[in-house]
Copies of this chain bind each other. A is one copy, B any other.
Amino acid sequence: MSADIKRRGLMLVLSSPSGAGKSTLARSLLTSDGGIFMSVSATTRSPRPNEVDGRDYYFVTPEKFESMANGGELFEHAHVFDHRYGTPRQPVLDALKAGRDVLFDIDWQGTQQLKEQTREDLVSVFILPPGHDELERRLKARAQDSDDVVASRMAKAASEISHWPEYDYVVVNRDLDRALGQIKSILEAERARRARLVGVGEFVADLTR
């Protein structure tokens, strides 16, 4: 017997305030790890150039979205400006069953909705910026931003950051490589979590036959 122990996939949630580098971390993780892929959301907004239906988003009509939400086909959904976004449930469940991991780039509200419906499948990581001055610098990225705009972004970031106690792990993004290494370690560790290794019984039975 030389195959790995059969396991159930996991849902890895990355959340952070703006300016913590989450998107870069998510992209790097997807590039460096072949076993995890991004959850594809459904949305009522129109495709932008280069966006592909089923890869970037599932583009649906407001009526279809409404029926998906009402029919319990979405793990979580939210209004952002005039559009609706949500996570179709079935593709995620299929992936978990096949032992593949799914990455979610969602905020604390989406995470809370997911937590209500999943148990040990969910692994949540909150990413923090390295310090106050660096956070301010990142929120001030555009030179023409007024002090008011930056102050309002900072207040929004502070409000998002206040949700760190709802997460399993906290990673400070002081150095991109180090933070990525920590997230990869979390992923590798959680893949070895006993509760996910549905094939241990079978493996052990063969071991001690």
Contact residues in B for A130 (Cβ distance below 8 Å): 1-2
A172, B5: Cβ atoms under 8 Å? Answer: yes
Contact residues in B for A174 (Cβ distance below 8 Å): 2
Q: Does A60 contact B (CB under 8 A)?
A: no
B4, B132, B200, B209: the one contacting A1 at CB < 8 Å is B132
What range describes how many residues of A lie at the interface?
35 or more
Q: Does A189 contact B (CB under 8 A)?
A: yes
A203, B169: Cβ atoms under 8 Å? Answer: no
Q: Which residue of B lies closest to A5 (CB)?
A: B172
CA of A53 to CA of B189, assembled, Å: 35
CA of A164 to CA of B130, assembled, Å: 39
| Minimum CB–CB distance for A18 against chain B, Å | 13
Contact residues in B for A182 (Cβ distance below 8 Å): 188-189, 192
B131, B167, B189: the one contacting A2 at CB < 8 Å is B131
The chain A residues found within 8 Å of chain B, CB to CB, are: 1-2, 4-5, 125-126, 128-132, 135, 154, 157-158, 161-162, 164-165, 167-172, 174, 181-182, 184-186, 188-190, 192-194, 197, 200, 203-204, 206-209
Top-10 shortest CB links A-B: A189-B189, A158-B208, A185-B188, A185-B185, A186-B189, A1-B131, A169-B192, A185-B189, A170-B194, A132-B207
